[in-house]
Amino acid sequence: MRSRFRSDRRLTVRMGITLFLLGLLYVGFVAALIALLKSWVLVVVIVALMFGAQYWFSDRIALFAMRGRIVERDEYPELHGVVDRLAAMADMPKPVVAVSEMEMPNAFATGRNPDNAVVCVTTGLLRRLEPAELEGVLAHELSHVAHKDVAVITVASFLGVIAGLIVRFAFYSQLFGGRRDQNTMAVLAVVMGVSAAVYALSFLLIRALSRYRELAADRAAALLTGRPSALAAALTKVTGDIARIPTKDLRTAQAFNAFYFTPAFGSEPGLGRFFATHPSLEQRLDQLGRISAELGGTTAPGKV
């Protein structure tokens, strides 16, 4: 079933190119591990099990990591009402609704397809936003599900996760593995080098896709609700509030930045801005301002 969220051909093309390039990288990575470790059965079985676990249980993993829990209608009737209305407007299945008891104002969507999706908001977000602003944020998250880019990011991030784990394993194995012969040490060094290169390449590919998909979700949400100014107000409010939270309190959340409505950066993000998962606030507000003008609405907050 096709939703009423406006399709984005450029997003579809970017997702296809990213998956193709990561697929080539994935095949090369597994082949290199098999050649180096000389045990193709072990490599294939471990990689397949981890891939399956991430694909099938990504929603549960994300909810567990962010302390989210599924909530029923009688507990959060207004939240369910907004999700019901947006799902009906978009002509898509209603996702499972969850809430995370976190002060950080944010939201995310996860799941392998629209029939197995979860949209989660933090209590900090619910306390801060007006109804129209909350609707804009949730429309943004539902558009990720409708465009299927949540599943693509989940699959795409798998290779980087595996490569990162192997780098850590090889590093600690060299530190604490005791005395080894030169051949074993050379194999470990090559495995760590290949894994580090794969991690770096997959990291850059995912970041490039992630920044564009956020702009696509903003655009789709603004067009579905017809209120880009409300989404712009939510962006401005949430980004400003997150910036005032100490960075040390955001470190756990930063691992999931690619899935959030807006990234969990503290007041001093440093070099993180150069490898951001999201476009800048200015870029997002500029786009919403143009959409608002096209729709004949008001100018986005903070823009002339």
Residue stretches of the annotated binding site: 140, 144, 214
**Intra-chain end-to-end CA distance of the chain, in Å:** 40
**Annotation says 141 is catalytic:** yes
Say how many residues make up the chain. Answer: 304
Output phi, psi for 117, to 5 deg: -110, 155
Return binding residues for Zn(2+).
Answer: 140, 144, 214
- Region of residue 94 (phi > 0: left; psi between -120 and 50: alpha; otherwise: beta): beta
Which residue intervals of 95-181 are DSSP H helices? 123-128, 131-147, 149-176
Output the furthest CA–CA distance in the chain (Å, rounded): 72
Tokens of 140: 């943004």
Pairing type for strands 107-111 and 96-100 reads: unpaired
E strand segments, 172-259: none
| Integer Cα distance of 105 and 127 in angstroms | 8
Catalytic residue among 72, 101, 135, 141: 141
CB 151, CB 111: distance < 8 Å: yes
Residues with a catalytic annotation lie at: 141
